[in-house]
Structure 1
């Protein structure tokens, strides 16, 4: 069984998305695809010049960035080698401007933003996806371009973020592009080219320019004995009109980490591929303009919605030189031990999180995890509240690295918080500590709802086999010399977290 201390050598992966579907469901979607027409003519030569601006790199294979100086007209062999296009095919209007940019990509917390590393005319000289054995050119693509991304170098967690690579291709017809995309999805699901690959999940990708799309994630063991993780390869394949997008995210993960979704990034990249502006771009999305719809201004979450370490009451059972210390965990630690799924499955429009720990000289003995989630409307917030309540009631088995047991079912505590939430519920659970001894994590879990927002608080103290304190003199765990301050700490932490979480709504 895992505990929060041993989980500190893992990786985080909580990006926007939806629950993964089965591989069979994704295949069935191949029979239900819809065609849609392009909304905007593909960007022209001026856009190409804007995208190309930057360092010019040449590869010995001739597949790297091309120079911008005028050059002699290429012959048939050079066209085929550099672009994967037949010299006798009709001209293609696919350009580098149809590749995604860093602004189109979602960087999941706590990883830094993606930045461009290199752009290729063609598919590049190296393998960009271990699961796809045939090149797009071999599949009939007339023109291809590729762009590689890395997490911003020098930033915290950049080395653990992995890589992201995008390839766009144009085919002779929409039917051909659709067929190729389905074949690529099947190849990604089976990943026959990698020994030991196992399907971790699939996810459909849909949008108003997309004809067919899916994300297929596989994991396989690393041959590096020092790597405390497996490799994960997430492949997003999208067809739109006569074009196909392939995005590949590779990183190291533990088996309980939620698979990469890539969903929002793939939708944005699909729009870019057909020459339209991605829907997440606020400059063209009328839903972000209150005057266009009459809707209220969308609330923006930030650090002001997160309780500060200095506002948390001291864990007086243990001395600590630091007190409560906010930290960025290297694993994706669940906010609540009883979470069935990662919080991204709740469908929030925005989310901020914070993690705090109380350390002695030898171990972490206290932890507070807070998440504030903003939803598009009160109905979706209410549905998410009910879902979290169900997690807290049944505490289902999960793959998030925790094996908890419910010790106290949720009860209404909205009147105790003095923060005005519409409703709030608290439960308690336990899960084993480290070392195989009697140590136990005693966790209190809270969900509070206010208008379109939820605040989740998971507060755990290490004790065992008895709880941190009890005021019942008849309880076998009662200790006269032990202050009964645990209930007060619980309430103070919950009040502080909820007050900060909804501070801008009151």
Structure 2
């Protein structure tokens, strides 16, 4: 498949874009806007068990995501290239994060060094606060503004709803570029990003997949995109 070949050479600048964009500070007022309409939850009870594991992740035949770290908090870099602030900055009272890398599993397949998957899970004071954060992050993805350094072009599709039992879920598909010449000498590839959001009660998860390629050949007949297939597992792990 064409996109898998492109993935094999993707690397060096993707992580840099993630680390260098946005403002991951928590200086913004963490209070959600509007008046909460639901009963506050009990004190935060998140743990690493709310994060996806290697057994939960999927990609395609011959390649898969592997978790490289899992920890409490937002981390030092942003969780999505279009992030304007940390999840705590949107009002989360407790946050856990996991980072993943893509690896080819076929014999003699080239190593993949730069495509990445991140997941953050936050617990909020109540369902209204989690919903407000869900909507806020969706708004960031519409235009990715202000854009991080090096991102000259950005295009996104309207959010597409994903049916997940017991949760509200959607995916925003977007592309940005250009890809550096050391990754794509032809100039034909772009960063292909899938951002999945799942809100279950007072908990919110953002799953961000970024690869470098020329196409993204995942069909509904095959179960949909990787993020599409992982969102039910995200919701299952978020269940209190």
> What TM-score does the superposition give when structure 2 sets the normalisation length?
0.70
**Cα shift readout 1:323-376 (whole Å, capped 9, x = no counterpart):** xxxxxxxxxxxxxxxxxxxxxxxxxxxxxxxxxxxxxxxxxxxxxxxxxxxxxx
The alignment status of 1:128 with 2:79, answered yes or no, reads yes
Q: Shift in Å at residue 130 of structure 1?
A: 0.5
Greater relative contact order, per chain length (Cα 8 Å cut-off, separation 6+): 2
- 2:88 aligns to what SS in structure 1? coil
| CA separation of 1:141 and 1:263: change in aligned 2, threshold 3 A | same
The alignment status of 1:225 with 2:181, answered yes or no, reads yes
The alignment status of 1:198 with 2:150, answered yes or no, reads no
Match of 2:92 in 1: 141
| CA separation of 1:9 and 1:139: change in aligned 2, threshold 3 A | closer
**Cα shift readout 1:453-478 (whole Å, capped 9, x = no counterpart):** xxxxxxxxxxxxxxxxxxxxxxxxxx
Q: Shift in Å at residue 193 of structure 1?
A: 3.4
Match of 2:229 in 1: 264
Q: Which structure has the larger Rg over C-alpha atoms? A: 1
Q: Shift in Å at residue 159 of structure 1?
A: 0.8
Contact 1:185/1:214 (8 A) holds in 2: no
Q: Shift in Å at residue 92 of structure 1?
A: 1.1
Match of 2:165 in 1: 208
The alignment status of 1:172 with 2:131, answered yes or no, reads no
* Separation (CA, whole Å) in 1 of partners of 2:134 and 2:3: 38
Contact 1:189/1:217 (8 A) holds in 2: no
Match of 2:194 in 1: 234
Aligned with 1:93 (options 24, 30, 45): 45
> What TM-score does the superposition give when structure 1 sets the normalisation length?
0.35
Q: Shift in Å at residue 151 of structure 1?
A: 2.3
The alignment status of 1:243 with 2:203, answered yes or no, reads yes
> Number of residue pairs matched?
194
Q: Shift in Å at residue 121 of structure 1?
A: 1.0
1:495-506 correspondence runs (5 A): none
Q: Shift in Å at residue 185 of structure 1?
A: 1.5
Q: Shift in Å at residue 11 of structure 1?
A: 3.6
Structure 2 alignment gaps of length 5 or more: 8-25, 31-40, 219-224
**Cα shift readout 1:226-285 (whole Å, capped 9, x = no counterpart):** 31411122111110000000001111021x43475511211101110124xxxxxxxxxx
* Separation (CA, whole Å) in 2 of partners of 1:117 and 1:105: 13
* Separation (CA, whole Å) in 1 of partners of 2:232 and 2:42: 28
* Separation (CA, whole Å) in 1 of partners of 2:120 and 2:60: 21
* Separation (CA, whole Å) in 2 of partners of 1:167 and 1:191: 19
Match of 1:186 in 2: 139
| CA separation of 1:105 and 1:157: change in aligned 2, threshold 3 A | farther
Contact 2:101/2:113 (8 A) holds in 1: no
* Separation (CA, whole Å) in 1 of partners of 2:82 and 2:6: 23
Superposition RMSD in Å:
3.0
